[in-house]
Amino acid sequence: MARALECDKCNRIVENVGDLAVKVTCSYCTMMMTGLPEESKSTYKPTGRPAGWHFMNEFVDKDGNVFHRGKEQPKLFGTLKSTKVDAKKKIKRRTKNEILIARAAEKKVALKKAVKKQKDFINHNFGG
């Protein structure tokens, strides 16, 4: 059964400690001691590559390295134009007000349609 123990250094509760553990160092203290792993350090470095570049069918970085789904294609190095990365591209979020206006417009259209339907109905039955 997993137990919880206090970290030996900062007294933070560490859960899922092995049964045989008498002393435990929490992940924070471990990280402080060992420093960040190289891998996670590198993710903080700007690579100039867009998020999710390694999911792209084809991505060419600014140096001309070609990647197919994140896998380097050394044979294609320098043969293709680098993929343009639009860092400024942002998902445009509508403001609450814009959403309300859009909704009102939709309702208006629906109402117009309903009115026309009703008119048609009346005309059909009583008109002309």
Q: Is 9 in the site for Zn ion (CB under 5 A)?
A: yes
Binding-site size for Zn ion (CB under 5 A) equals 6
Q: Determine phi and psi for 57, rounding to 5 degrees.
A: -55, -40
Nearer to Zn ion, 29 or 76 (CB): 29
The residue from 6, 17, 29, 65 that contacts Zn ion (CB under 5 A) is: 29
Q: Is 12 in the site for Zn ion (CB under 5 A)?
A: yes
List the end-to-end C-alpha distance of the chain, in Å, as a whole number: 85
Q: Is 26 in the site for Zn ion (CB under 5 A)?
A: yes
Going by C-alpha positions, the residue among 81, 82, 85, 64 that lies closest to residue 73 is 64
H or E segment and range at residue 66? strand 66-68
Q: Which residues bind Zn ion (CB under 5 A)?
A: 7, 9-10, 12, 26, 29
